Amino acid sequence: PVFSFLHQIHWPAAREHVEHCRLAGKSLETDCANFVRLLQPFNKTHVYACGTGAFHPQCTYLHVGHNAEQPLFMLSHTVESGRGKCPFSPREPFTARLTDGELYAGMSVDFMGANAAIFRTSVQGDSQHYIRTEAYDHNWLNEPEFVGSFSIPDTRSPDDDKVYFFFKEQAVEAGQWDKRVYSRVARVCKNDVGGKRSLINRWTTFLKARLVCSVPGPSGVDTQFDELEDIFVLETKDPQNPTIYGVFSTSSSIFRGSAVCVYSMASIRAAFNGPFAHKEGPDYRWVEYKGRIPYPRPGTCPSETYDALHKSTKDFPDEVVSFMRQHQLMWEPVLPVGGRPILTRVNAPYMLKRVIVDRVDAEDGPYDVLHLGTDDGKVVKAVSVVKDSWDTEEIILEELTVFQKQLYVSSELGVAQLGLQRCELYGSDCAECCLARDPYCSWDGQTCSRYFPTSKRRARRQDVKYGDPWSQCPITEDDSESVEVKSVYGVEGNSTFLECVPRSPQAELRWTLQHTESQQQADDDRILHMKRGLLVQRLELADSGLYTCASHEHSYSQVLARYRLHIIPNHSLHPTRHRNSWLPLKSYKDLHMVGTNSLSVDEYCEQLWYREKRRQQKLRTLKLKQDSRKARVRRNNPPEIPL
C-alpha cells in the first residue's frame, strides 16, 4: 500500500454544535460533523489543523514529531475558535496560508456564508488581534469564491513582503444588473496593522486587479475565459519572481471551454503600480482615476525602501487611508504572458479544474509540464513549446484515468498516486519516443526511458521543441511492407470497422485504399474517420481492396495497420436447400471461397456434397481393409486358452 496509518485520530464536533446544526436544517451526514478543511505546517513537529465543527469552526495543533520509542500522531488538548480561519460549510471554496506565525485566509465568516472577508489572525500566543476587509462593502469583495493565496516577497526587505490572493467575484464594473464574473488577484502587506483613526482593524494596503485570460478575436472582440478555477505558483531561482499558472473556464452559455494562462510577477506588479479605478457615485461609471495620488502611494508597505518615516500603517497620513477606503480596484488588468492562453480546450467532454506544474530539464532546455485535473476524474499531461519564431504549440502528452508516484490526486473516494513519467508507453522505437515530445523521456538507443540531464550517453535522442525524428533517429524510407496484412470479411450492405490507434496524441491518421489497378484516398460519404479507426458503412463490392492506415506528424509518416477487405455478395448468403439438408458455411475458408471465387451457394453446396461423398467412400474402403486384415490375423494366430 502507498500509505500505512500508524494511528487514527477521532476529532468529532461537540454534541451541542451537532444538534444546533441539525435544528438549523442541515444534514447530519453531509454538514453536521467536523470536516477537516485546513492543514498547514506550523513548525517541524506540529501541523495547524482546522475543521468545520458542525458549522462551528474549531482549530487545534496536530503533533507529528518523533520520539525515541515511536512516531507521534496526536491532537493537542487546546482547541480554539476557527472563525476567520476555517469556513463554516464543508463545501465552501476558501483559501488559507500560514506564514510567519499568522494565518491569512479568504472565506465567509458567518453561518449563512454572506459575510466574506480576507482575514489575518494570529495562531501564536493569546493574541486575538485580527485584520480584515470591510464587511458588506461590494467594492471590497462582491460574492467572492477564493481559489488560492501565496506569500511572495517584493524586495529584499522583509518589510515589503506581501500575500497575494486569487479569487473570482461578481464584477462591480459590469453594472448593477449584469451578473458578470471576473477573476481577481489581490494583495495585502504582511506588516499592515490597520489605520489609526480610520480603517481600524481593516486593511489599509488592500488592492485588487482583474486577471484576464482570453483569446484575441477579430475586430478586438476577445473570447473570455472569465472564471478562475485553480492557481499554481511555480517557484524559480528568484523568489521574488515565480511563474503563475491559472486554470480558467468560460461563463458563456454559447460554448463550454477551459484555458491555461501564465502570468509573470512583473505584469502583476505593473497593474498594482498603475492607475486606480474610480467611481464618483452610484449613478456613475467606473473610469480611470486622473486626480492627485497621495503620498506614500496607496498600497505601499511601510518600510525603509520607500520612506523611513512611516514605520507602521498607523503612521500613514489620513488622506492615504481615506483614499484606500474608496479605491481598492486598479484600472489596468493583468494580461497573460504572450497575450493569450498557452492551452485551450473548447467543447471537450471535460472541463479543466486543477493544475500542478513541474519544471523539467530536457536536452534543449527546461520545459514546464502541466498536470491538469478534469471534472470527470482524468489527469491531462501537457506541455507548451515556444518555437524560434516565438509562436507557442500546445502538446497533449497523455490523458490518464486516475486510480493508478510523485503526483497525488485527491477526491471524495480517496488519494491516488501517479507516476510523473511513463516513458514505457511510448515503446522501444526511436521515432515514436521522439514524436511523443515528452520532456521526461528520451530514446537511449534501445528503448524510450527516463531522461536525466546529467546522463552522458551519446545515444540519447530527444526533441521536445520540434519532434523531428528525421534529425534524431535512424529511419528507413518505407517500412510499410513489414506490417502484416490482416484479412477482413464484410457482407455487402453491412458495415465493418478497421481498427487503427495512433501512438501519439498529435498524430493525424490517413487511410488509403488500393484496388488491384489503382490506389486512392479512402474518402466517401459512407466512410467515417474515427479516433480509433475507419468505419465503412453500407459496404459495396467496389470497397474490396487493401486498406492502409498511416500516422502523419511533422513530415514523418508510419504505417500502423494494413487490412485486406473481402466483400461477400449479399445474394450469395441466402440459404438454399440441397438434398433435403441445410449446409451452413463452416469457416473463413468457406467464406473466402464464396466471396472471392464468384460461387453461388448452390455451386458451393454441390462441391461440398461431392467432397463429403468422396470422404465417406474412402472411409468405407479403409474400414473394409482393416476388417480383412483382422480376419487374417485371427486365422493365423488362434486365441490362447488360459490354463
What is the per-residue pLDDT across 271-290, written as a single tens digit (0 to 9) for each? 999 999 999 887 889 999 99
Compute the radius of gyration of the chain from its Cα atoms. Answer: 36
Which pLDDT value is given to residue 184? 97
Residues with pLDDT less than 70, the chain: 1-7, 66-71, 125-128, 176, 388-390, 401-420, 454-460, 475-479, 516-523, 574-605, 629-643
- Neighbouring CB atoms inside 10 A of 496's CB total 18
pLDDT at 521: 61
> Which value, to the nearest 10 degrees, does the dihedral of the CA atoms of residues 224, 230, 235, 241 take?
40
Q: Where in the chain is the domain with CATH 3.30.1680.10?
A: 383-471
* Cis geometry, peptide bond prior to residue 90 (ω within 30 degrees of 0): no
Question: How long is the chain?
Answer: 643
Domain with CATH 2.130.10.10 in the chain: 138-348
Residue 70 has a pLDDT of 61
- Distance between CA atoms of residues 9 and 80, nearest Å: 18
- Between CA 350 and CA 544 the distance in angstroms is 39
Rounded mean pLDDT of the chain? Answer: 83
Enumerate the CATH 2.60.40.10 domain ranges in the chain, comma separated: 480-568
Pairing of strands 407-411, 414-418: antiparallel
Query: What's the DSSP call for residue 29?
Result: T
β-bridge partners, 108: 116
Q: Which of 478, 206, 489 is nearest to 330 (CA)?
A: 206
Which pTM does this prediction carry? 0.68
Within 423-563, where are the H helices? 430-436
Burial category of 616 from C-beta neighbours within 10 Å (exposed 0-12, middle 13-18, buried 19 and up): exposed
Helix (H) or strand (E) holding 625: helix 601-636
Upper half-sphere CA count for residue 7 (Cβ side, 13 Å): 12
Assigned C-alpha cell, 259: 484555458
Q: Which pLDDT score, from 0 to 100, does residue 639 have?
A: 46
Strands of 223-300, DSSP E: 223-224, 227-234, 243-249, 257-264, 277-278, 287-288
The counts of H helices and E strands in the chain are 6, 37
The contacts of residue 280 (CB under 8 Å, 6+ apart) are none
Say which CATH topology domain 138-348 has: Methylamine Dehydrogenase; Chain H (2.130.10)
Give every strand in the sheet of 343-346, ordered side by side.
Answer: 227-234, 243-249, 257-264, 343-346
Is the Cβ–Cβ distance between 397 and 438 less than 8 Å? yes
Alpha-carbon span 139 to 155, nearest angstrom: 29
Which amino acid is present at 443?
A: W
Q: From residue 569, how far is each of 91, 489, 592 by CA, in Å?
A: 63, 11, 11
At which residue does the C-alpha cell 454441390 appear? 606
3-state secondary structure of 398: strand
* Amino acid, res. 471: S
Q: What is the pLDDT of residue 410?
A: 66
Chain center to CA of 438: 16
Pairwise CA distance, residues 152 & 234, whole Å: 11
Residue of 190, 108, 112 whose CA lies nearest to 153: 190
Question: Closest by alpha carbon to 245, among 211, 209, 210, 208?
Answer: 211
**pLDDT at res. 579:** 43
The reported pLDDT for the residue numbered 3 is: 44
The C-alpha angle with vertex 69 and arms to 66 and 71, in degrees rounded to 5, equals 35
d(CA 163, CA 121): 13
Whether residue 85 contacts residue 51, with contact meaning beta carbons closer than 8 Å, is answered with no
CA 253, chain centre distance (Å): 23
Domain 383-471 has CATH 3.30.1680.10: yes
Spatial contact of 195 and 290, defined as CB atoms under 8 Å apart:
no
Distance, CA of 228 to CA of 609 (rounded, Å)? 75
Q: Looking at residue 508, what is its pLDDT?
A: 84
Look up residue 348 and give its three cell numbers: 471537450
Per the CATH hierarchy, to which homologous superfamily does domain 480-568 belong?
Immunoglobulins (2.60.40.10)
pLDDT single digits (tens) 90-128: 999 999 999 988 999 999 988 888 899 999 998 875 556
Q: Residue 113 corresponds to which cell in the numbers above?
A: 456564508
Would you state the torsion angle of the CA atoms of residues 37, 41, 45, 49, taken in this order, to the nearest 10 degrees? -20
Unique residue bearing C-alpha cell 490482416: 486
**Could you give the angle at the alpha carbon of 118 between the alpha carbons of 112 and 121, nearest 5°?**
100
